[in-house]
Structure 1
């Protein structure tokens, strides 16, 4: 273009003008042509990029790292003796986080164990008493037999006394029986009647004792029926109290439920804590995920299981994470806001909504380049395999 004929590049009205002006006009025209060519190449390049890559990928920089953090709480009431960790410390599952004063828990355990021993002895007495009650019941049965014999003997004596009295009364008129003999016979009959009453009362008492013995045996049988001495309800309740006291003692040592980084520590030595008191939070950085907020117009081809590449502002573009889509949110952020937007208010303006897409990351890459909750990410989902 630099060797072109000036007559072809200079306008006719500038042919007789200053040569410098004509040169500037020619240069400007060449620049416009170059600019047009660059724009054309850029448009063709963008079209090729969109056709080959862009239409098969959706991207966003509205993405942030998240994790299912674990809150460490006290499960028993005690004072804090030691806190061997600080914020930002990396811990493994099972590491000691807090030690509570175990004195009260040890006393409670000793008391529960004593109550268990007492319950075991008491229940053993129930089983021993069962044999004794059965023997007692047999003895009461023998008492009834003896009482029946005494009643029969007393009734026989009464019958004999009545016959003697009747004989003397029959010959009293002839004078063969003196008045003293008749009186003695009458007294003998009265004594026999009293003896019968006493014998019958004794028999009734023996029957009552048998009934009481049967009731006591029934109560004792109910206490031990259907279970052994070890599985007796009283023993089981006492053993459960021991287990609970031992568990409270074990809970004076608070350990990490999972591996992660300590955050939001609120535990100080000497602090008295109650069950449920939040002591610290553990962030499991090796199981972190990303919530990417895509525009609703980008989600047409997004499916669970699609591959995702991500970069973090923390490490820059040199570190690339790989993950997969694990799910789409159940609603937009505006829908779950504390005060949702009311589009029927009359001043509605359409705003493009964003839906969170949960992305699970490769654990190996997370171990090599750990992330923290809340860090910004850029996510690129490959939707080329969408139906």
Structure 2
């Protein structure tokens, strides 16, 4: 039987979010109902609320989540009721041209649940990133569920579902940071600080955190940055060069996603170094740069989609590292809040007062 539960929705562009009753259908073929234990408040959810993704209102917000499988639909054998899972928005198909070439992290045909969750009047909801986890329960595709060690704190490991994985993967997977590398991270919010953690995990010898906010620079230092640069006080490119023997960093990660920060990343890298763009630009942003500079500096210019992760490969490994005390994921949880506090959490996040607020159910 369909279930009626609580959920946080964005009914129209820019309007405050609402806690209301929603209807979760029984899982169909390939689908799973998950009882949500915790869900992080991500900037992407705010972007949905502001109409920055699309206009398919009303949205069921929330996507950085962990919980327990409650029921499964026909043909589901990857998870079963009682499994503790982290939700992901890259359920790879295994059949597209990327998957067939062994590059499933670029899957071009990812899965979501086929059925729609609705309001009690039958209005169909659009789940954020195909998940919609600001709710007591949610309906997802089985491939969006990744089993991890059930002893892990759901408020902590659920953050792997988006922001933490995006930043950490930008360093480890996309940037290919390795032992002894110098790394600079521009923008030290949740994603940027996760890139700092990833660089440290990979064995970087020098990790330079760049931001205009001293509070964020302090967060980055606590998470493993060896040096900090206040972009409001000094020239970023010069400062990074001075910290790397005049050469520039081996890998520079732009976690802001603006033309000016991307240019800083480009010119702050060593010859043949790597730039990774993980901050998301808006459609109106453009670059105007000499083409000769691209040729003469060599190296690699990469964009990182979801940290180029494979959830079934990366999530269990990272959860294990967290449980071993080798990955400080718990430091990303700034506060634990109730479901009805989601709107307040957006304001707290926008003000830069937290790394992550996490809704705990």
Fold in common (TM above 0.5): no
Determine which structure has the larger helix proportion and give its number. 1
Higher relative contact order, structure no. (Cα contacts within 8 Å, ≥ 6 residues apart)? 1
Larger Rg: 1
TM-score bucket (shorter structure): under 0.3
Which has the larger strand fraction? 2
After TM superposition, the score normalised by the length of structure 2 is: 0.18
